[in-house]
Amino acid sequence: DVKVTQSSRYLVKRTGEKVFLECVQDMDHENMFWYRQDPGLGLRLIYFSYDVKMKEKGDIPEGYSVSREKKERFSLILESASTNQTSMYLCASSLTGLGYTFGSGTRLTVV
């Protein structure tokens, strides 16, 4: 089974901090994705990547950046965390871009 591992289950950060959310997959998938999930809004795509060093903006990239230096690792960066970035962050990977496997999520609270 594909495993997608997110480094932290719960995270509390202060406003203005730089925050790194890490995601690692073990099945050599080309495609990796970062979503955030908020009540009433569902999952919204932040950034995705279809190859090493490649990245594409999703629907809500503002305030975020990403890094994909190695195929198995896709990092989401909050340059200066704000309270409106408090959310559940979900990483996913896929061979084709369609059949996703999700990580267990990181619940980030910015205070």
Binding region for other proteins (CB under 8 A) out of 15-23, 28-36, 63-71, 79-87: 28-36
61-65's contacts with Cβ under 8 Å and 24+ in sequence apart are 64/34
Closer of 26 and 79 to other proteins (Cβ): 26
Residue in 12, 23, 6, 38 with CA at minimum distance from that of residue 106: 6
CB of residue 85 to other proteins, shortest distance in Å = 19
Q: Minimum distance from CB of 71 to other proteins (Å)?
A: 13
Does 52 bind other proteins (CB under 8 A)? Our answer is: no
- Asked if 104 touches other proteins (CB under 8 A), the answer is yes
Give the total residue count for the chain. Answer: 111
Q: What gap in Å lies between CA 60 and CA 28, rounded to an integer?
A: 26
The whole-angstrom distance between residue 76's C-alpha and the CA centroid of its chain comes to 5
The dihedral of CA 97, 103, 107, 108: what is its sign?
Answer: negative
Q: Which of residues 58-97 bind other proteins (CB under 8 A)?
A: 58, 90, 94, 96-97
Binding site for other proteins (CB under 8 A): 30-31, 33, 35, 40-43, 45, 48, 50-51, 54, 56, 58, 90, 94, 96-100, 102-105
